[in-house]
């Protein structure tokens, strides 16, 4: 074989490892504890508003994912025939155990993100930052970066940092860029407490 062919083959091999194997090694993947369809609840038949389950606390941050007490309002006993609802009632609601949901967009502890500032004052839509999650039928696999401990959604789906959808990724430069576009000049302590 000609030396340059070996070189090209080597580069291609490296690129394939980089693009496909590296992400697999870099990320730890976990399934959500329970099947949950937003669409069942927020779609036409469900008719619930986002704020029925997602409320903010006095600091303007979200309370987090709703507690099983919220689910029990309708699911104290099964209303349908589905396996996932049966699991919900038996494993969580009846024994009153919180569901250990994994948060895709979770930021490191020292970064402060108030939803109220963006949604109420900034008039942004949930979809602007979360994409179609609120109308989805299934839950994606959750990925955690083994080195940084960050959720993959903070970095964005692509290792390269390129994103195909505007809502992908929420690294510091993205927060700072949008703040700049809105004529905000925040000090570090606005976001780091
Ligand atoms: C019946 C209660 C309920 C309603 C109504 C609801 N959600 Fe949720 N939401 C949940 C639960 C439970 C989870 C945790 C599982 C998951 O990730 O989907 C969640 C998670 C989320 C997340 C994931 C956050 C993350 O990064 O992990 C987003 C985004 C979200 N909801 C947006 C919405 C939007 C937008 C609406 C309105 C269109 C909405 N939700 C309505 C119960 C609800
Ligand atoms: C400007 C971008 C932005 C908008 C708009 C936005 N979110 Fe978020 N959301 C985030 C970020 C960033 C986090 C991670 C917060 C953290 O880890 O402290 C998050 C986290 C969440 C979580 C996870 C639970 C929690 O308490 O952190 C839920 C649920 C959620 N968002 C729902 C919504 C809903 C519902 C709306 C619309 C009413 C919305 N978000 C609008 C950026 C946004
Ligand atoms: C206002 C009433 C209401 C509340 C509150 C509610 N649900 Fe539901 N949920 C429904 C209805 C209606 C269905 C459809 C029942 C069927 O036909 O299976 C459903 C179906 C489900 C199912 C089975 C079908 C599917 O889509 O996977 C699961 C699991 C579920 N809900 C989880 C939850 C969880 C978790 C919460 C709390 C965060 C919650 N629900 C809160 C009304 C509610
Ligand atoms: C798409 C644009 C956009 C993105 C992305 C964004 N922000 Fe903001 N943020 C705003 C706007 C606009 C305001 C001011 C809202 C108002 O006061 O009218 C704001 C306000 C804030 C405030 C100030 C609240 C206060 O009390 O003054 C904090 C803190 C903040 N954002 C943190 C973050 C963090 C952290 C991120 C990234 C995880 C982020 N933001 C991403 C547009 C954005
Ligand atoms: C608009 C909000 C915002 C402002 C202003 C901001 N940060 Fe951040 N910063 C974040 C968020 C969100 C993260 C976590 C995501 C990430 O690592 O990109 C972060 C992460 C970091 C990290 C750890 C990750 C890394 O890239 O090494 C450092 C260090 C940091 N910020 C320093 C600063 C300093 C210094 C300033 C002031 C010059 C500042 N930040 C201003 C939002 C902000």
Average pLDDT over residues 102-118: 92
Ligand positioned closest to the Cα atom of 37: 3
Segment 3-28 shows an average pLDDT of 79
Mutate to test the pocket of ligand 1, among 65, 98, 128 (most ligand atoms within 8 A of CB): 65
Q: pLDDT at residue 101 above 90?
A: yes
Q: Residue 107 CA: which ligand is closest?
A: 2
Counting from 1 in the atom list of ligand 4, the atom nearest the Cα of 121 is: 18
Residues contacting residue 64 through CB under 8 Å, at least 6 positions apart = 103
Q: Supply the mean pLDDT for the chain.
A: 89
Q: How many angstroms separate the Cα of 37 from the Cα of each of 31, 62, 63, 127, 133?
A: 14, 20, 20, 16, 10
pLDDT tens track for 45-79: 889 999 899 987 777 677 679 999 999 999 999 99
CA distance 182 to 180: 5
Tokens of 189: 């302590």
Whether 60 is in the pocket of ligand 4, judged by its Cβ within 6 Å, is no
Nearest protein Cα to ligand 2, atom 6: 126
Range in 2-11, 100-109, 177-186 the model is least confident about: 2-11
What are the tokens at 112?
A: 């402060």
Ligand number nearest CA of 134 is: 1
Residue pair 113/107 in contact (Cβ under 8 Å)? The answer is: yes
The pLDDT of residue 163:
78
Residue 160 has pLDDT above 80, yes or no: no
* Mean pLDDT for the stretch of residues 37-41: 96
Q: How far apart are CA 83 and CA 40, in angstroms?
A: 15
Tokens of 145: 């970066």
| pLDDT value of residue 133 | 95
Atom 12, ligand 5: which residue's CA is nearest?
Answer: 172
Given the CA of residue 125, which atom of ligand 2 is nearest to it? 5
Ligand 3 in reach of 73 Cβ (< 6 A): yes
Distance separating alpha carbons of residues 193 and 191, to the nearest angstrom: 6
Closest C-alpha to ligand 1, atom 13: 65
């Amino acid at each position: 074989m000609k030396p340059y062919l070996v070189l090209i083959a080597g580069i291609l091999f490296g690129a394939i490892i980089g693009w496909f194997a590296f992400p697999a090694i870099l990320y730890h993947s976990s399934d959500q504890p329970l099947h949950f369809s937003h669409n069942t609840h927020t779609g036409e038949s469900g008719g619930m508003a986002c704020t029925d389950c997602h409320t903010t606390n006095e600091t303007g941050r979200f309370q987090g994912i709703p507690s099983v007490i919220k689910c029990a309002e309708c699911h104290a006993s099964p209303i349908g025939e589905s396996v996932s609802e049966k699991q919900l009632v038996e494993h969580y609601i009846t024994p009153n155990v919180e569901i250990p949901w994994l948060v895709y967009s979770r930021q490191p502890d020292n970064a402060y993100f108030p939803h109220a500032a963006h949604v109420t004052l900034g008039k942004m839509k949930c979809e602007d930052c979360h994409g179609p999650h609120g109308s989805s039928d299934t839950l994606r696999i959750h990925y955690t970066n083994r080195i940084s401990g960050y959720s993959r959604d903070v970095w964005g789906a692509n290792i390269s940092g390129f994103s195909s959808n505007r809502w992908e990724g929420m690294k510091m430069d993205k927060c700072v860029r949008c703040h700049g576009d809105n004529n905000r000049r925040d000090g570090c302590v606005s976001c780091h407490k």
